Amino acid sequence: MKKLEIIIKPEKLENLKGILDSCKANGIMISNIMGYGNQKGYVQKYRGTEYNVNILPKVKVETVVAADIADTIISKVVNEINTGNYGDGKIFVYNVEDAVRIRTGEHGHDAL
């Protein structure tokens, strides 16, 4: 099993949910976060004064899926969410040793 942490622009959330639904991801967790990467923010003018806005709103979507589905999700996200500009986001992939459904005690893939 793989855990995917996908960090994207907020306006791309619906596109990402569509990708995850089409790949049959069982569940997702969504967090609103703030941060920056290579983009380092942007400069904005307000009433003649320049402001450096370097903490940008992002969305982090987490899901745990079977290892064979993870590669499909990653390639679809890269192809469909990509705008070619800084700030498109990142995907972090982690190995998941086990998952346990508390209600039934099921382990592994059955718990997803």
pLDDT beyond 90 at 16: yes
What span, in angstroms and rounded, lies between the C-alpha atoms of 83 and 46? 27
Query: What would the pLDDT profile of 51-84 be if each residue is shown by its tens digit?
Result: 777 788 999 999 999 999 999 999 999 999 988 8
Domains and CATH numbers, the chain: 2-111 (3.30.70.120)
With left for phi above 0 and alpha for psi between -120 and 50, is residue 55 left, alpha or beta?
beta
How high is the pLDDT of residue 86? 81
CB atoms within 10 A of CB 103: 7
How high is the pLDDT of residue 41? 66
